[in-house]
Each structure stands twice: as C-alpha cells, then as structure tokens.
Amino acid sequence: MRITRCEDYREMSARAADLVLEELQKKPGLLFCAATGSSPEGLYEEMGIRYQKEARLFDRLRILKLDEWGGIPENHPVTCEHYIRKHLLGPLAIPEERYLSFQSDPEDPEAECQAIRNTLTRKGPIDLCILGLGQNGHLGLNEPASQLEPFCHIAKLSELSLEHKMIADMKIKPRYGITLGMQEILSSRKIVLLVSGTGKKGMVNRLLEEKISTALPASLLWTHGQVECFLDRSAQL
C-alpha cells in the first residue's frame, strides 16, 4: 500500500481524480466500483468537473455499487443507490446498461446477493475500486469479525455503522446491509482508499501498523499489490 499524505480534502480528491483519469486513459471501459459517503464525494465532484472538459473519456466507463443499506426503498435519499445516481450516474451521463447495481429492499436478499455475484463473474473483475475507511475499520459493510465473507452477502450492521452520517437521523434504521465481499474487493486490479475526518485517526493509526487481522478488515489491503491510500490532513496523526 502506498500512502499519500495530502494537505487537505481538496488535494486528496484532486489526486485521486488524476489517478482515475490515468486509469480511464489506459482502459476506457473499466469497471469502477464506487463507495459512498463523505470521503469519496470530493473525488466524484472532480470527476464531474473533468467530464465537462473530456466527456469522451467517460463514454465506456462502467459503474458498480459497492454496498447498500438493506430494507430501505431505493428512492429514499439515504440509500447508496440515490447517492450514486446523484454523484456519478447523473454528472457523468452513465446509462443504465453501464451501471451494475442491486436493490436496497429486495424481496429475497440472498437471491440479490447471488445475482451480483453472477454479474461479477460475467462482467468483472473490478478494475478500479474506490473505498472509504469505516470508523471501525470496515470496508464496504464488511464489519470486523472473527472471519470475513469472500463474496457479496447480507451483513449484520454494527452499532457504529448504524451511526453512519448517511443514516444517523433515521428513526427506523436499516435492518441489514448488502455488500461485496473481501475476495471480490481484493480481486480488483487497483484499489484507492480515501480517508478523511478526525474520527478516522484511530483507525489510520491501527492500519499503519501493517498488522493483518479480520478485526480490522481494512488491514487486508496490505495483501494487495496495487493500493493507493490518500489521507487528508484531518485524518493524519
């Protein structure tokens, strides 16, 4: 993992956007796995700005949703679906045929997980995976545990995840999560980890110890040979 310490959130977002455009130039039809939340939002804004200047670069880009809050209607503004449509699909003019997703409130969550597994088998692997670092060290909704799931699965949400900013004000919280598994994430050709916010300092400190444990899912990124980690100043020790 290569660590880049940035002066601020804007620099972090711009550096990450430079990397994304470099990868798009190498492979215009790459499969881009998108995390949600505040850490990658600046990156997506930068991508939208660059789309205005070089729209053709994005003509074949494919987007894959990383995870979702389960049991919430897709049109609800807190869903990852709503976030990705607002911050990526709209600004980059990505049509439905180039968007790989899963429902937030499926009748059969297990079948929904199997469907995305099958989709990745046919259309994957992921070329570029954008991740944020959870306050408990999770990646996507792969929560700290004695063992981690390799493929897309239903996740039991931790108390800390249920306090996430996206759903913090909800009176009725999500019943579960749906997330890509660790093998699917680690099969990505390249991974970008974006870390912002003072609340992440403790996890950054643990991550930089380079000790691998399922109690800190993000630590498994040390096993991958192509990880770029960008830290803005607020997350630095």
d(CA 207, CA 222): 9
- Residues 60 and 92: beta-carbon distance below 8 Å: no
142 has catalytic annotation? no
Rg (CA), the chain: 16
Annotated catalytic residue, options 143, 149, 184, 232: 143
Annotated catalytic residue, options 11, 74, 76, 136: 136
> How big is the CA angle at 58 (ends 132 and 17), to the nearest 5 degrees?
40
67 has catalytic annotation? yes
* Nearest one of 42, 128, 58 to 93, comparing CA atoms: 58
Annotated catalytic residue, options 138, 149, 153, 164: 138
143 has catalytic annotation? yes
Q: How deeply is 110 buried, as exposed, middle or buried, from its count of CB atoms within 10 A (0-12, 13-18, 19+)?
A: exposed
136 has catalytic annotation? yes
Query: Alpha helices, DSSP H only, in 7-130?
Result: 9-26, 41-53, 80-84, 109-123
Annotated catalytic residue, options 23, 46, 67, 127: 67
Sequence-ordered list of residues with C-beta below 8 angstroms from that of 10, at least 6 positions apart, any chain: 42
Q: Residue 127 has what DSSP assignment?
A: S
Which positions are catalytic?
67, 136, 138, 143
